[in-house]
Amino acid sequence: MRTKPKPAARSGTRRVLKTLDRVLSKAGVGSRTEARSWIGTGRVRVNGRLIQTPDHWVDIERDKVTLDGKPVLSQERVYLLLYKPKGYITTYKDPEGRPTVYDLLSGLNEYVFPVGRLDQDTSGLLLVTNDAQFAERLTNPAYKVAKTYLVKSATRLSDEQLDQLRRGVTLKDGPTRPAEVRRVRDSGAHTFFEISITEGRNRQVRRMVEAIESKVLKLVRVAIASIEIGGLGIGKYRALTQAEVEQLSGKGTK
């Protein structure tokens, strides 16, 4: 189905337009396929009017979009730091019934979405927001925002293996950037180390460790840039401070 042409902006005005299904998916409430289903079944309204056309154009700065009566677009920005437990996934709903991070955010009145992903078996720091520009800056590799992980490997790693990670390794989707790596300790047959990367490929740290002939037994994201998970309890979240938001947005480095 072809999308209808964008409505022309009035002289002297700037409009930020997206199709209704994309507005819902970008807001983190579900995939575009799910959004089209919700629109078709009459669960979505724009400015109080029932809309059942997924390619209906929405002005995200001016229009009010609701799903089941709950606002999707909000003028109030939300920035949260969540300690994601192992076993939780970052999608809005899971067909298999697995727990999602949204189960931990049930007290929120705003729709939010995760900044990037942590796979089901990875725990640690996950940022959650409704600010798409903020999320773009943190997930776009061009901005080189560091994500730091604590890793427990299946084998004891040599200095040469850790140096390979520092230099970068070659994966099926190409060579990785050099990483910052610090050995924390060796315990029995395992090595615990920290690694900071500035990319966000699918399962990247796990694949990098496999590339040096080992495996990840435990993976925890402990920091994004200089924002650390600190003493936050597993499954708990807190609001980012204004200073933290500015720092992650690139405004606190001047």
Under the phi-then-psi rule, with left for phi > 0, alpha for psi from -120 to 50, and beta for the rest, what region is 146? beta
Name beta bridge partners: 193. 151, 183
SS3 content of the chain, % helix, strand, coil (to 5): 20, 30, 50
**Does the CA dihedral 16-61-128-30 come out positive or negative?**
negative
Catalytic residue among 119, 163, 173, 186: 119
Determine the Cα–Cα distance for residues 28 and 150; give it in Å rounded to an integer: 28
- ∠ CA 19-21-22, nearest 5°, is 65
Determine the Cα–Cα distance for residues 104 and 83; give it in Å rounded to an integer: 10
- The candidate with the shortest Cα–Cα distance to 79, out of 127, 145, 140, is 127
Q: Can 119 be counted among the known catalytic residues?
A: yes
* Active site residues per annotation: 119
